[in-house]
């Protein structure tokens, strides 16, 4: 079955550093991957989408890469701030397009001042 894996351990970094989160997928080839941010007690909020034919996508301090050979996506936050502390979820629709999402477990990011 389709599976998305993220590092379940929290990532602790200092303010100003670059945070890098990893998302690996197995048993299928997603047409795209999405990244969401989730704060405690709230629903996920969409951040970025990257398609299988795109190597890299940027939005302000965020950058996402997609390596179909490694079956991996990396999510970077540059010049991190304490306000970036949250859980970041990787999600995929599977290989058929825009339908239900399969989420990873999420990685909690803690940015210290």
Nearer Cβ to other proteins (18/95): 95
- In eight-state DSSP terms, residue 53 is T
26 near other proteins (CB under 8 A)? no
CA 77 to chain CA centroid, Å, is: 10
**What are 62-71's contacts with CB under 8 Å, separation 24+?**
62/35, 64/33, 64/35, 66/33, 68/29, 70/24, 71/24, 71/25, 71/26
Nearer Cβ to other proteins (11/102): 102
Nearer Cβ to other proteins (14/99): 99
Q: Which positions from 73 through 112 interact with other proteins, judged by CB under 8 A? A: 89, 91, 98-106
Q: Which stretch binds other proteins (CB under 8 A): 13-21, 35-43, 67-75, 77-85?
A: 35-43
């Amino acid at each position: 079955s389709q599976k998305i894996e993220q590092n379940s351990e929290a990532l602790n970094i200092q303010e100003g550093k670059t945070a890098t989160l990893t998302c690996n997928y197995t048993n299928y080839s997603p047409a795209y991957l999405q990244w969401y941010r989730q704060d405690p007690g709230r629903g996920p909020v969409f951040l970025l989408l990257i398609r299988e034919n795109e190597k890299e996508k940027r939005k302000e301090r965020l950058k996402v890469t997609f390596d179909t050979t490694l079956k991996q996506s990396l999510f970077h936050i540059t010049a991190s701030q304490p306000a970036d502390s949250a859980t970041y979820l990787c999600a995929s629709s599977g290989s058929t397009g825009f339908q239900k999402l399969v989420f990873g477990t999420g990685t909690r990011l803690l940015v210290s001042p």
